[in-house]
Structure 1
Amino acid sequence: MPTIEQVSKRVFSDNNWLKKCALGGVLSLIPIVNIVALGYLYQIFQQGRSEKGISLPEWEDFKGLFLDGLRFLVIGLIFAVLPIAVVTLCAEFAFDGMIASIPLIPVLFMAGPLMSAALYLYSVKQDISDCFNAEALSIMLKKGAISYTVPTLAYLGLCMLGLVLLPFPFFFGGVFYFYLMACAFKDLEKRVRS
């Protein structure tokens, strides 16, 4: 499995990396159009799942990026946004003050790996029902914890540092994060099968 450093070297070796990532950040700001940016992240995820070295695609096939982005969005809403929203609401009603955010911390940490695991299951056969395989999700999250902990902490840290400019760190960090998550689950799949 590649390291963050190896992925960084590959991304930064692209002479247009800043332009491509800046465009993704700008597109992330525009409602509806931001789905295209999610499609770009999905294509990066697919590179990791197919064990290709990371390369930043050109911003060309906007229809394909939009459709991939819709897939990414639906899975993200179900497996990341919904759990965060439910725990936030429950914590607000159950606790007062600062203590209300404590139950949210593990959910924020697990949202990325859970969404990535569901995205991985979907990407195998392009069947949305595969995302809801609770047994497979559980195995992926338990056995893959060593592989996804550092990328998840790094991604959360980048997003928290860039809270003011959220779409940019989300997109830029997402390029690394979703590639590494796909690689982690692909590595896990190979270990389980052997």
Structure 2
Amino acid sequence: MILDLYKDSFEFASKKITILLILGVLSLFSILIIPLIFVYGYGYRVIKMSTQSMINGEDEPPEFGEFKKMFIDGLRYIVVYLAYLIIPFIIIAISAMNGSVNWILLIIGIILMIICMLVAYLAVPNMAANDDSISAAFAFSDIIDIMGSIGYLRFILTYIGIALISLAIVFVATLVISFIFGILGVATLSISGSGVGVVSLIGTIIFNFVMFFLVAPYISLFKDRCQGLIYTIGS
């Protein structure tokens, strides 16, 4: 079941290259905040659609549109995660005050953050599946019941798997792109002494383009799809 969830999410994230590029452009200007809200709004739309889907279905990433609703959905997404993580952040920040680290507080903050992230991972889909109700994101008894239906250990392992797969995608993409342009740089060196620098510059530009506009949005879609689908297992 979990492997099918990963497979479905892999395929889902790769179905529309244009969506990846749009997400990449929005992320590029995320420092302006508003584009970032739209990125989260689209992610929320993917989660919402996935809570109504079946694993290994024929779903495709939704189109961009209804921008007012997407903006509001993005705010919902952000607010829920901030609400869950603000206390752990405060505890971690306090642990590092006065120029020294209070290790007990730091450890408590990190453990609390992990727990809150796990709960938030189901809280957002629960909100999406219940008519976008913010209160559903904090219906702890319902969320814990869903987590129990999935299986606590299976849920945690699935969450860890998503994180490891995301890191593996970045690692493999970095390795492949670096290898390709490393070969091109060596080949050019045999023709021109300045060729390595030229290829290196071009390679850097293309590397950043691929990572920022394709790989990062792909991982984002993969994770959002997983987040919605794992909710369906327990609901």
Task: Pick one of 211, 214, 220 that aligns with 1:174.
Answer: 220
Identify the match of residue 162 of structure 2 among 129, 154, 162. Answer: 154
Query: Structure 1 residues 78 and 14 mapped into 2: Cα distance closer, same or farther (>3 Å)?
Result: same
CA pair 67-143 structure 1, distance change in 2 beyond 3 A = same
**Distance change >3 Å, CA 120–CA 12, structure 1 → 2:** closer
* Distance verdict in 2 for CA 1:157–1:10, change over 3 Å: closer
Contact 2:24-2:216 within 8 A present in 1 as well? no
1:34/1:15 Cα in 2 relative to 1: closer, same or farther (>3 Å)?
Answer: closer
8 Å contact from structure 1 (residues 148, 181) kept in 2: no
Deviation at residue 176 of structure 1 after TM alignment: 1.5
Cα RMSD (Å) of the superposition? 3.6
**Residue 128 of structure 1 aligns to which amino acid in structure 2?**
I
Q: Is the 8 A contact 1:49 1:182 kept in 2?
A: yes
Give the C-alpha shift of residue 156 in structure 1: 7.0
Structure 1 residue runs of 5 or longer lacking an equivalent are 190-194
1:47 counterpart (12, 28, 49): 49
1:138 to 136, 144, 153: 144
Matches within 5 A, 1:8-157: 8-51=10-53, 53=57, 54-79=59-84, 81-92=85-96, 96=101, 101-123=106-128, 124-144=130-150, 145=152, 146-155=154-163
Using the size of structure 1 for normalisation, the TM-score is 0.73
- TM-score relative to the length of structure 2: 0.62
Paired-residue identity, %: 16
Distance in 1 separating the partners of 2:94 and 2:145 = 27
Cα distance in 1 for residues equivalent to 2:148 and 2:90: 22
Give distance in 2, aligned partners of 1:157 and 1:84. Answer: 25
Deviation string 1:114-154 (CA, Å, 9 cap, x unpaired) is: 21322223221332222222222333344433135334453
Q: Does 1:183 align with 2:229?
A: yes
Pairs aligned (count): 186
The offset of 1:43, in angstroms, is 0.4
SS of structure 2 residue aligned to 1:125: coil
2:200 counterpart residue number: none
Structure 2 CA distance, aligned partners of 1:170 and 1:89? 28
**CA displacement, residues 73-94 of structure 1 (integer Å, 9 cap, x when unaligned):** 1112112x3143133135436x
